Amino acid sequence: MNGLKYPHLFEPIRIGKQYFRNRLFAAPTGWIDLDKEGMYPKDAALYYARKAMGGAAAVTLGENNVDYDYGTGFGYAVRLDNMYSEGPYSLHGLSRVVEEVTRYGAVCSAELIHAGMYGNRYRYPDGKAYGPVGGVDVDGREYFEMPEEIIERTIKKFASGAAYLKSLGCGMVMVHAGHGWLLHQFMSPKINTRKDKWGGPDIENRTRLTVAVLDAVRKAVGPGFPIECRISGSECYDGGYDIETGLAIADIIKDHCDIIHVSAGSHEVEEVFTVTHPSMFREPGCNVQFAEAIKKQVGKDHFVATLGGLCEPEQMEEIIASGKADIVEAARAILADPDLPLKARAGREDEINKCMRCLACFSNLISTGHFRCSINPETGREGERFALPPAKKKKVLVAGGGIAGMQAAITCAKRGHDVVLLEKSPALGGALRCEENVPFKTRLKDYLDAQAKKVVELGVDVRLNTAATPEEAEKIAPDVIISALGASPVKIPLPGIDGSNVFSAEHIYVHPEDAGKNIVILGAGLVGMELAVYLGMLGHKIRIIEMLDHVSHGGNFQHMKGLQAELDKYGVEINLSTRACSIDEKGVTAEKDGKEQRFDCDTVIYAVGQSPRTAETYALAACAPEFYPIGDSIAPKNIMNATSQAYKIANVIGTI
C-alpha cells in the first residue's frame, strides 16, 4: 500500500471467496422508476454503473422485493418472483444492471427486502399484509399475524431471490433486517409480542426468523458467497431497543452471515428518519458508535460494516485503521460524488463533492420517483453523460457567480466553450455565502469553495466586481448569455420595516452580533426556520410569525423532519396564521383571527421570500443571439433547481 494516503481504506479485502478492491462500498439507494412488472429501464443500469466507475468496491442495488404478494412496501419495486414459464419478468433489466456494475470492476450486490406489516399499502390498500403480530396501522388498515405457513414461504422467498441474483452475476447479497422491514419487525421487542418460538421476550426467538432466512440464503447460494446482513444497532427512539439488544442480535447472527452491516433507527418511526439518514444537524459518522460496539463484541473473525453521514476520507480511514469497523459504506455521499473513492485513492480529496445531507434526494425520490442531488446534477441523469453529442464551440457569457452561474460556467467550460463569468461582488458563491459560517452548513461552504475552484481551474475568464450590464455584454460580444443573476430578499411594505432594530435574514447570517437577545422572525420558510436554529444555538430566544397556516419547507419535507427536531430543541415558537401589521422599537404588532397580538422583542428579522432580479435579467435578453435565464433569476426555488437548470441548459449549447 506504499504511496496511498489512506492505506487502510484502500486495502483489498477477501470475504468468503470474493475479493473486493477496497473497503469503501456504495450502500443501497434504490431506483424506483420501474414498470408495473418491476423491470429496470436502461437508465437504471447507468445509475448503478456510475457508482462502479467511481471506484466503489461493491455497489448494492436497493430494494429488491422477495415476495410480491405480501412483501411489497411501495408500488414500484424490483420483483424477484414475478415468474412466467421461462423465468421472471425482471430478468432482462436486472441482468443488464448487474452486467454494467461488474464490468467496471465492482462487486454487484443486491438488497433483499420484505415489508412485512407495512406491505401492500400502495400496491392495493385492501391487500393482505402479515407482520409478527396482527393490528391496525395509523391509516386504519388491518394487518395480520404471520402464520407458520407464511413464515416458511417467506424463508423460501428470501432464498430463491438470493439464488436468482447470484445466477445473474451478483457477487454478494444483502439481507435487510433493519430499518423497520419484516425481519427487523420480528426482532423488535415493542412489535413482536408473539407467544410462540418466533417471538416474545426471548431475543433468541425474535431473531429466529432472521437466522432461518440467513441459513436458507446460505444453502441457496452455497459456501464462499458473501452474505451481508443489515441490522439497526439501535432503534434510537423511546420504547425501541437500544445497543444492548443490538449487541445480542449481532452475537446471534454473526455465524450465519459474512458481514454485519450496522445501521440505526427505523424508516417507519418518523422522529428517527434523520437518525437512519443523518441530517445536516448531526455530526459526521454519528452512527459509527453502534458498529464500533458490535465490532468489539463479535471480534476480529467477523466483518462489520458501518455507515451514517460519512463522506470524509480521513474519517473513513480512521474508522478502518482503529478497528471500529472493517468496511465503510456510503449512500448519499456517492450520489453527491460517485468518484469519491477514486478521488480519495488518488489523494484528490479536496475535489470531492461532499454531501450536504440536505435530504433533497429523498424528498425528490418520494415526490417524483427519481433520485436527484442538490449538488450533483448528473444524479439520476447518468445516461445524458454518455449521450451528449459534441458541442460546436461558442463564446458564452455567464451573468452571475452564484450557485446556478458557477454550475453553468463549469459545464460550459467542460463542453469546450470559451466562458466569461461576470460577478458584481468580490467573490464567487452568491447569496448563500451569507450562511457559510453556520455550523450545520459547513458542507455548503465546502461546496461553494469547490465550485469556485473548479471555475478557475477550467480556465473560465472570471471578472469579479463587475456587474453584468448590457454595456459589459456589448464589449464581450458573446454568442450566448446565461443569466443567473439570482434574486433579492423581499422587504415587505410594513410600517416600521426600516427601523434600526429590523434586519434581513441575510444580514443577520453575516452579522449575528447585531441581533438582540429576544428575536421575532417574520416568515416560516426554510431561510427563517434555519436562521432560528442558528440563533438558537447562539443562545437567543426566537419566535416566528407566519401569515400562512403552515410552514414552508420548499418541497424538502425530509429535511423538515430534522429541522423540526432542532426547532423543538431550541424552543422556537412558531405562530401560524398570524399577520404582522407594524413594527416599532419594542417589537411587532400582529393580527390573528381578527384579534391583535403583541410580540415584544429586541430585534425583528424579515425572511419572507425572494424576488427575482427580473429587470436586470431581461435587460440582457437582446445582447446575444442565444439567451437563457436560469435559477432564481426566473423563480426562486432551491439549490437543486439551480444546478439542474444550469447543467441541462449548458449541455445543449452548441448542439442545436
Cell match 434586519: residue?
Answer: 503
**Grid cell digits, residue 395:** 463564446
Find the radius of gyration of the CA atoms of the chain. 27
Instruction: Please count the helices (runs of H) and the strands (runs of E) in the chain.
Output: 22, 31
Cell match 416600521: residue?
Answer: 496
Which residues, at least 6 apart from 317, have a Cβ–Cβ distance to it below 8 Å? Answer: 5, 6, 7, 8, 9
What is the mean pLDDT of the segment spanning 422-440? 96
Q: Which of 77-86, 111-120, 327-336, 553-562 has the lowest mean pLDDT?
A: 77-86
- Is the sign of the CA dihedral 76, 78, 80, 84 positive or negative? positive
Residue 596 above 60 pLDDT? yes
Q: Are 192 and 133 in contact (CB under 8 A)?
A: yes
**For residues 420 and 416, what is the distance between their CA atoms, to the nearest angstrom?**
13
Q: Sorting pLDDT into bands at 50, 70 and 90, what band is 2?
A: low
pLDDT of residue 1: 44
Q: Sorting pLDDT into bands at 50, 70 and 90, what band is 268?
A: confident
Backbone φ and ψ of 130, nearest 5°: -120, 135
Residue 555 above 80 pLDDT? yes
What is the mean pLDDT of the segment spanning 579-603? 97
pLDDT in tens, 177-191: 999 999 999 999 999
Q: Which domains does the chain have, with CATH numbers?
A: 13-359 (3.20.20.70), 391-488+612-652 (3.40.50.720), 502-608 (3.50.50.60)
3-state secondary structure of 24: strand
**Grid cell digits, residue 336:** 453527491
Residue 337 above 80 pLDDT? yes
Q: Nearest-CA neighbor of 316 among 8, 14, 58?
A: 8
Q: Are 39 and 4 in contact (CB under 8 A)?
A: no
**For residues 137 and 125, what is the distance between their CA atoms, to the nearest angstrom?**
12
pLDDT of residue 491: 95
pLDDT of residue 236: 96
Which residues, at least 6 apart from 288, have a Cβ–Cβ distance to it below 8 Å? Answer: 306, 308, 310, 319, 324, 325
Q: Which of 34-48, 223-237, 456-470 has the lowest mean pLDDT?
A: 34-48
Long-range contacts of 130-136 (CB under 8 A, 24+ apart): 130/70, 131/182, 131/185, 131/191, 132/185, 132/186, 132/188, 132/191, 132/192, 132/193, 132/194, 132/198, 132/199, 133/191, 133/192, 133/193, 133/194, 133/199
**Grid cell digits, residue 492:** 415587505
pLDDT of residue 125: 59
Q: Are 485 and 617 in contact (CB under 8 A)?
A: yes
More confident residue, 42 or 38: 42
Tally of CB atoms within 10 A around 558: 23
Residue 85 above 60 pLDDT? no
pLDDT of residue 73: 83
Which residues, at least 6 apart from 239, have a Cβ–Cβ distance to it below 8 Å? Answer: 190
Q: At what angle do helices 148-167 and 203-221 cross, to 10 degrees?
A: 40
DSSP summary character for residue 646: H
Q: Sorting pLDDT into bands at 50, 70 and 90, what band is 387?
A: confident
Mean pLDDT of the chain: 95
Beta bridge partner(s), residue 145: 131
pLDDT in tens, 114-161: 999 998 876 665 678 999 999 998 888 899 999 999 999 999 999 999
Residue 86 above 70 pLDDT? no
Residue 266 above 80 pLDDT? yes
What is the mean pLDDT of the segment spanning 350-375? 94
Cell match 439507494: residue?
Answer: 29
**For residues 239 and 257, what is the distance between their CA atoms, to the nearest angstrom?**
28
**For residues 601 and 502, what is the distance between their CA atoms, to the nearest angstrom?**
11
Query: For the chain, what's the residue count?
Result: 656
pLDDT of residue 226: 98
**For residues 30 and 27, what is the distance between their CA atoms, to the nearest angstrom?**
10
Q: Sorting pLDDT into bands at 50, 70 and 90, what band is 87?
A: low
pLDDT in tens, 227-259: 999 999 999 999 999 999 999 999 999 999 999
Antiparallel, parallel or unpaired: β 142-145 and 135-136: antiparallel
Q: Which of 24-33, 52-61, 77-86, 332-341 has the lowest mean pLDDT?
A: 77-86
Indicate the pTM of the whole model.
0.94
What is the mean pLDDT of the segment spanning 477-485? 98
Residue ranges of the alpha helices (H) in 117-199? 148-167, 182-187
What is the mean pLDDT of the segment spanning 579-592? 98
Looking only at Cα atoms, what is the longest distance across the chain? Answer: 82
